[in-house]
Structure 1
Amino acid sequence: MQILVFLSLFLISFIFPADFLYLWEPRTLQCLSKGCKLSKNADQTGLSPANCSFSGNSAENVFVECDIECDGAERDSVISKKPTVYRYCNRFFTYNTRKTSDGKWTVWRNGTCANANITMTVHCAFPL
């Protein structure tokens, strides 16, 4: 039985290698309107001002992008947002993550979502 479990896990590691080859680290971005704070701890302690850039001149044309300090990560994933029912923040449309040309990972928000009071938890994947 133990050999069967071991072989199953061994085969799964080849079928889904991403989760086995990365160290996942949490980031929490807490935004009150345009002012955001970042925590690199799972328990959301140690919030410090996030490095964010702002553009746009009207409520509908606002774009906010915040560095989540995942330098060296190969990928990332938004795990959750609070409040979950806020209808103006929809992933891929009004917020998401992206890797910039200089290798930094950011969370961007636009439109009404850019002015929202929202907390997002992101996991960064660092290669082992």
Structure 2
Amino acid sequence: MPRPTPYPVKLADEITRQLGQLADHLAQLPPHEATQVITRVVDPADGVLGGVTHLVSTSSVFAKIQAERGALPAELWLALGRASNELDAIGTDLDEHRETLRHVSDRPNTGLAKPPAPAPLVVRRRR
């Protein structure tokens, strides 16, 4: 008889499914509502990105303990640690834009007489 799927595994599957739904909705939202969603997603304390970063960090700690016991390869622990650090750096990069997102998402959704002028896209890399 197969073992039942543990609750945390089901929870991870459900969260993954809901994240897919959120991405599908985001792609179809009007700009004002999409900005509200993005603002919540990138919030470092209560947002999806912060939650995923915390989850990967916790996974790294678990993998370290297991690697020290010989149950998991050290490379897995190192990869999870790097992923956690990268996610944290991404969150820091996005944090500088949080006020702009909040400001745009707080604006009432009124039809503007004159649409904003498009900004030229500039690629900046800081690493």
Larger Rg, first or second structure (1 or 2): 2
What is the TM-score with the length of structure 1 in the denominator?
0.23
Q: Which has the higher helix share?
A: 2
Q: Which has the higher strand share?
A: 1
Larger relative contact order (CA 8 Å, sep ≥ 6): 1
